[in-house]
């Protein structure tokens, strides 16, 4: 699939998703609001990506991102879910999440079992961690994009 050049910068509000991530998988994900998802370029193909994420003016953490079609909506709505590789003490619904999508891991696929899905996600996380340690990716962690001007929200700098 033709890929638009990464990195891709994106920022938006975190909304409540289906609650599946944390409960069933033990892997909490942050969902972007519909407006943010709809503004995603259509040439970013579905699949699993890695990159950097920052909540509000907090620290920048490694993340894994899934872009996919939500069967729940009969495949007409795309979902973009970010799993930040960090343990947060509380939910951050309503906060601004800033992400930089750095690289692509694999296409979306269906799994026969919850266990298979969870182990695939764990592999994605390991892959993301090692990729993001590469100097060319590490430098994006310091990108000015992550320094939110107080009270100013912009989409895609």
Q: What is the pLDDT along the chain (157 residues), one digit of tens a residue?
A: 445 678 999 999 999 876 666 666 778 889 898 888 888 887 888 899 999 999 998 999 999 999 988 666 666 778 899 999 998 888 888 999 999 999 999 998 888 888 888 899 999 999 999 999 999 999 999 999 998 766 555 554 4
- Domain at 8-135, CATH homologous superfamily: Riboflavin kinase-like (2.40.30.30)
Predicted local confidence at residue 18, as pLDDT:
62
Catalytic, out of 81, 115, 123, 127: 81
Question: Cα–chain-centroid distance for residue 29?
Answer: 8
Q: Is 108 a catalytic residue?
A: no
Contact status, residue 36 vs residue 13, Cβ threshold 8 Å: yes
The residues that bridge with 106 in the sheet, in sequence order, are 48
């Amino acid at each position: 699939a033709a890929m638009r050049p990464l990195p891709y910068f994106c920022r938006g509000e975190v909304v409540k998703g289906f609650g599946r991530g944390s409960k069933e998988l033990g892997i909490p994900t942050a969902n972007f609001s519909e407006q943010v998802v709809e503004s995603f370029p259509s040439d970013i193909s579905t699949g699993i990506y890695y990159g950097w994420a920052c909540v509000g003016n907090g620290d920048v953490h490694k993340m894994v991102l899934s872009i996919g079609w939500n069967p729940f909506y009969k495949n007409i709505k795309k979902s973009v879910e970010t799993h930040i590789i960090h343990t947060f003490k509380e939910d951050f619904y309503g906060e601004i999440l800033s992400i930089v999508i750095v690289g692509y891991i694999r296409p979306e696929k269906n799994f026969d079992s919850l266990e298979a899905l969870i182990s695939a996600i764990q592999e994605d996380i390991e892959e993301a961690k090692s990729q993001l340690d590469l100097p060319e990716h590490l430098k994006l962690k310091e990108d000015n994009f992550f320094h939110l001007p107080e009270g100013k929200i912009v989409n895609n700098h």
